[in-house]
């Protein structure tokens, strides 16, 4: 589709160069298109992307994907007021959390074959200190819970994120 749109734009540009009489009608067409199709989509994408009307496959790829980044801003909003000294991120998109957060985030290896579940569980068990939190994503290849107290569940997509206070 992108290639067809690019071809159309090139043809439109060529037409505008040759026929100056078409400039106003073409500008009006582009303006009407932008106001009726593009602007509502762009507005929703910027304000509430979770409510975009997407096909099932697009929804799975761009919103429900474990690496999509959905839920990270909500996660940061819960953790920031608590001023964590250490956060252990057991989620597919941990690196993005580390880049976005203003607090230290440790991202242990999470292998999709499940071989790291025991190592991560041990890390969580030995990190029971004050002001230490863990974020677990409900993934088949990650621990299902952490020691400590669950303080919030971020459920804007599946799999959801759970925040644990690891303090003893």
The pLDDT tens digits of the residues spanning 122-150 come to: 999 999 999 999 999 988 899 999 999 99
Domain spans of the chain, in order of start = 2-47, 72-165
- For residue 48, the model assigns a pLDDT of 84
Higher per-residue confidence, 117 vs 30:
117
Q: Tokens standing for 17?
A: 């160069």
Buried-exposed string 68-77: b where 16+ CB fall within 10 A, e elsewhere: bbbbbeebbe
- Higher-pLDDT residue of 64, 112: 112
- Choose between 68 and 77: higher pLDDT: 77
The Cα 103–Cα 85 span in angstroms is 7
Q: Residue 100 burial by CB count (10 A; 0-12/13-18/19+): exposed, middle or buried?
A: middle
pLDDT in tens, 16-26: 888 778 788 88
Give 24-67 pLDDT, tens digit per residue: 888 888 889 889 988 898 899 888 887 888 888 888 787 777 67
HSE value, Cβ hemisphere, 13 Å, CA-based, for 77: 7
pLDDT digits (tens, 9 = 90+) for 97-107: 999 999 999 99
Look at residue 49 in the predicted model and tell me its pLDDT.
80
Compute φ and ψ for 101, nearest 5 degrees: -80, 155
């Amino acid at each position: 589709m992108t290639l067809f749109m690019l071809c159309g734009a090139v043809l439109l540009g060529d037409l505008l160069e040759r026929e100056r009489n078409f400039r106003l009608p073409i500008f009006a067409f582009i303006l009407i298109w932008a106001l009726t199709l593009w602007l509502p989509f762009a507005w929703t994408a910027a304000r509430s992307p979770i409510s975009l009307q997407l096909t099932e496959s697009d929804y799975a790829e761009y919103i429900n994907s474990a690496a999509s980044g959905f839920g990270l801003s909500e996660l940061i909003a819960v953790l920031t007021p608590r001023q964590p000294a250490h956060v252990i991120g057991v989620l597919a998109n941990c690196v993005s959390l580390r880049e976005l957060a203003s607090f230290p985030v440790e991202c242990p290896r999470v292998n999709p074959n499940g071989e790291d579940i025991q190592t991560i569980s041990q890390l969580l068990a030995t990190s029971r200190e004050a002001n230490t939190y863990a974020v677990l994503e409900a993934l088949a290849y990650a621990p299902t819970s952490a020691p400590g107290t669950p303080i919030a569940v971020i459920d804007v997509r599946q799999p959801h994120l759970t925040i644990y206070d690891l303090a003893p």
